[in-house]
Amino acid sequence: MPLKRSVCSLAAAILVLTAASLALAQTATGTLSGVVRDSSGAGLAGASGVLLAPLVAVYTTMGLDVILSAFAVIIIGGLGSFPGTLLASIIVGMVESVSTIWIPPTSAKTLTFIAMVVILLVRPAGLLGEETR
């Protein structure tokens, strides 16, 4: 049964991300200033909480486990870069999953932040972020 829930959550996440991406790229509202972008980010955060709840135990501080990974994803992908965020989420997910083979899961986030530092040393604006001066 957990595999079925995971597949359903993955399908729903792909649907939400596709809809959000199209809404940001194709509608007049999506192309407005950063305020609109911040509002849709809050909506995506709420949607991710709904998708995550059936897979993990729900408790008052459950967001703290995810927020460090989310921070790393946004920084690695490049601030304001939706495709960069998608790419970074795959990288962070793989780093955290594969690293648990060799180190305890509680220490896996350390490798995520080491990867973030290495990427920022090579590309200060993130993977797909645009450098501004």
Domain ranges within the chain, ordered by starting residue: 1-55, 59-133
Name every residue whose Cβ is closer than 8 Å to that of residue 109 and which is 6 or more positions away in sequence. Answer: 68, 69, 96
pLDDT in tens, 26-70: 776 665 545 445 555 566 667 777 777 777 777 777 777 778 888
User: Please, which pLDDT band fits residue 81 given cuts at 50, 70 and 90?
Assistant: confident
Q: What pTM was computed for the model?
A: 0.62
| Distance from C-alpha of 11 to C-alpha of 33, rounded to nearest angstrom | 30
Distances in Å between the Cα of 32 and the Cα atoms of 23, 25, 29, 78, 131 are 11, 10, 5, 19, 21
Task: Write out the two tokens for 87.
Answer: 């790419």
Mean pLDDT over each residue of the chain, to the nearest integer: 78
